[in-house]
Amino acid sequence: MNETPNGEKPCVLLIEPMPSWTIERARDEFDLIVLPHESKRPQKFLDNVDRIRGIAMPGFATVDASLMSLLPNLEIVACFGVGYDGADVSYAQANGVAVTNTPDVLTDCVADLGMALILACLRRIVVGDRYVRAGRWKSEGIMALNDAPRGRCLGIVGMGRIGLELAKRAEVFGMSIAYYNRSERGDVPYPYYASTKALAEACDVLALTCPGGEATQNMIDGDVLQALGPKGYLVNIARGTVVDEAALVQALSEQTIAGAGIDVFVDEPNVPEALFGMENVVLQPHQASATIETRTAMGNLTIDNLLAQFGSRPLPNQVA
Ligand code: 8YV
């Protein structure tokens, strides 16, 4: 148990959803106020604004200045996720509030889902599943042929930890790799392209593994999708905001790109309904880090960052 000198546990606001066992551990360590995602602020929260010293938030939640400014004793915003674009980092920094995230523990699982989406798109795995279930194999015979990963080029937007792991997996499947990054990396063997458009022109599958936030908002726009072309696929395991979603829906419906595997959306859980009927799209409900093992590790890291703050120890994963 983690008590302050006066014997009280530090008060933490936890924004759902988070795994039940993470919430249980957080309840042991902290005086916990649980705030349902997107709901009105409950009385228990309003009655305790002076006591709240930390926030634990899912990667896609919003902790903005209007929320933080209600909490005069806030010390830390601990993101349950590698992405921290949902937290107003400038406000936090200006007000002496630390921001932490949960990198590394999710890298493998996120890269795994990226590879799974690449294979699902190229090999039409979901289309094949629907084909069998609808009895079409029997009534129509063999399904149309699909695309091999071997010999195709994977363009990775954001060559960080997840991008590198995705590259390794794709190489095993015989793909060549090229990348775009904020700046060229001296320590990777893959060709660098100085713009997403140039990368899209050069590759067959464009995979997004970059951070969200203002710097990357709508970076993949209609022009980039046009450069990807009618044989190109888009895979997004980054943030919905990185893509101009309306332009993507248009490109998919007009088949100016071949298909897409999409795990993240601009306004989750609202997904553009136009995508629901498209055979050339594989949709996921923001699942990339969603394994029991990874989410457990993310929960523990989130709590460890809060405990370090309240114990005046260096924060394991401070990003601001
Ligand atoms: C989670 C994420 O989906 O790491 C991120 O940035 O988006 C995620 O792993 C999310 O934080 C779960 O609540």
Over range 239-250, report the average pLDDT.
98
> Does residue 71 form part of some domain?
yes
Residue-wise pLDDT tens digits, 284-308: 999 999 999 999 999 999 999 999 9
Nearest atom (ligand 1) to Cα of 239: 7
- 69 and 128 together in one domain: no
The model's confidence at residue 44, banded by pLDDT at 50, 70 and 90, is confident
Residues of the chain with pLDDT > 90: what percent? Answer: 93
- 113 and 184 together in one domain: yes
- Strand order of the β-sheet with 233-236 is 176-180, 153-157, 205-208, 233-236, 259-262, 281-283
- 87 and 48 together in one domain: yes
Q: What is the pLDDT of residue 36?
A: 83
> Does residue 320 form part of some domain?
no
3-state secondary structure of 206: strand
Task: Provide the token pair at 148.
Answer: 């091999």
- Does the beta carbon of 265 lie inside 6 Å of ligand 1? no
Residue ID of nearest Cα to ligand 1 atom 11 = 59
- 131 and 95 together in one domain: no
CATH of the domain at 193: 3.40.50.720
- 33 and 130 together in one domain: no
> Does residue 97 form part of some domain?
yes
Cα–Cα–Cα angle for 126, 178, 231, rounded to 5 degrees:
45
- 39 and 131 together in one domain: no
> Does residue 1 form part of some domain?
no
- Does the beta carbon of 81 lie inside 6 Å of ligand 1? yes
Look at 1 and 286; give whichever has higher pLDDT.
Answer: 286
Q: What is the pLDDT of residue 2?
A: 58
Residue-wise pLDDT tens digits, 145-182: 999 999 999 999 999 999 999 999 999 999 999 999 99
Task: Give me ligand 1 centre to Cα 81, in Å.
Answer: 4
The model's confidence at residue 39, banded by pLDDT at 50, 70 and 90, is low
Q: What is the pLDDT of residue 37?
A: 74
Residue-wise pLDDT tens digits, 106-128: 999 999 999 999 999 999 999 99
Q: What is the mean pLDDT of the chain?
A: 96
Tell which one of 18, 60, 62, 263 to mutate to probe ligand 1, the residue whose CB is within 8 A of the most ligand atoms. 60
> Does residue 317 form part of some domain?
no
Mark whether 201 is an active-site residue: no
- 202 and 130 together in one domain: yes
Tell which one of 298, 301, 305 to mutate to probe ligand 1, the residue whose CB is within 8 A of the most ligand atoms. 298
Task: Give me ligand 1 centre to Cα 59, in Å.
Answer: 4
Residue ID of nearest Cα to ligand 1 atom 7 = 59
Query: What's the pTM value of the predicted model, to 2 decimals?
Result: 0.96
- 140 and 89 together in one domain: no
Over range 256-261, report the average pLDDT.
98
Q: Is the pLDDT of residue 272 over 80?
A: yes
- Does the beta carbon of 286 lie inside 6 Å of ligand 1? yes
Task: Provide the token pair at 50.
Answer: 């002076």
Mark whether 37 is an active-site residue: no
> Does residue 4 form part of some domain?
no
Q: What is the pLDDT of residue 5?
A: 61
Q: What is the pLDDT of residue 4?
A: 63
Q: Specify the range with the lowest mean pLDDT, choosing from 60-69, 155-164, 190-199, 238-247.
A: 60-69
- 158 and 93 together in one domain: no
d(CA 206, CA 31): 45
> Does residue 258 form part of some domain?
yes
Judge contact between 57 and 30, C-beta under 8 A. no
- 94 and 132 together in one domain: no
**Residue 302 is part of which domain span?**
11-105+292-310
Give the total number of structural domains in the chain.
2
The model's confidence at residue 189, banded by pLDDT at 50, 70 and 90, is very high
> Does residue 101 form part of some domain?
yes
User: Which residues neighbour 22 within 8 Å (Cβ) at sequence distance 6 or greater?
Assistant: 80, 295, 296, 298, 299, 300, 302, 303
How many CA within 13 A on the CB side of residue 241?
A: 13
- 114 and 247 together in one domain: yes
- 101 and 192 together in one domain: no
d(CA 56, CA 52): 11
Over range 67-95, report the average pLDDT.
97
